[in-house]
Amino acid sequence: MAHKFEIWKDKKGEFRVRFKYNSEVMFWTEGYSSKASAKNAIKSIQTKGPDAPIEDNS
């Protein structure tokens, strides 16, 4: 699989989500206090992300 979400625990003990494409980290989220909240972030990105507008500030 070329792309995937990963849940990991940072040094502060917070759960974070990162999105990897071809083993390169494309983005990561803020820290969450529970793994369930991190999983909810993934669900939100999957359902709302495809329809998100593109804002070009260049």
Q: What is the pLDDT of residues 18-50, one digit of tens each?
A: 999 998 999 999 999 999 999 999 999 999 988
DSSP state letters, 26-43: EEE---BSSHHHHHHHHH
Q: What is the pTM of this model?
A: 0.82
Domain with 14, as residue range(s), is 3-47
pLDDT attached to residue 56: 97
- How many whole angstroms separate alpha carbon 42 and alpha carbon 47? 9
pLDDT at 1: 66
Q: Is residue 8 a contact partner of residue 16, using CB atoms and an 8 Å limit?
A: yes
Is 25 inside any structural domain?
yes
Q: What is the mean pLDDT of residues 8-15?
A: 97
The domain total for the chain is 1
Q: In what order do the strands lie in the sheet with 15-21?
A: 3-9, 15-21, 24-28
Q: CATH number for the domain including 42?
A: 3.30.160.160
Q: Flag whether 53 is in a domain.
A: no
**What confidence category does residue 2 fall into, taking pLDDT thresholds of 50, 70 and 90?**
confident
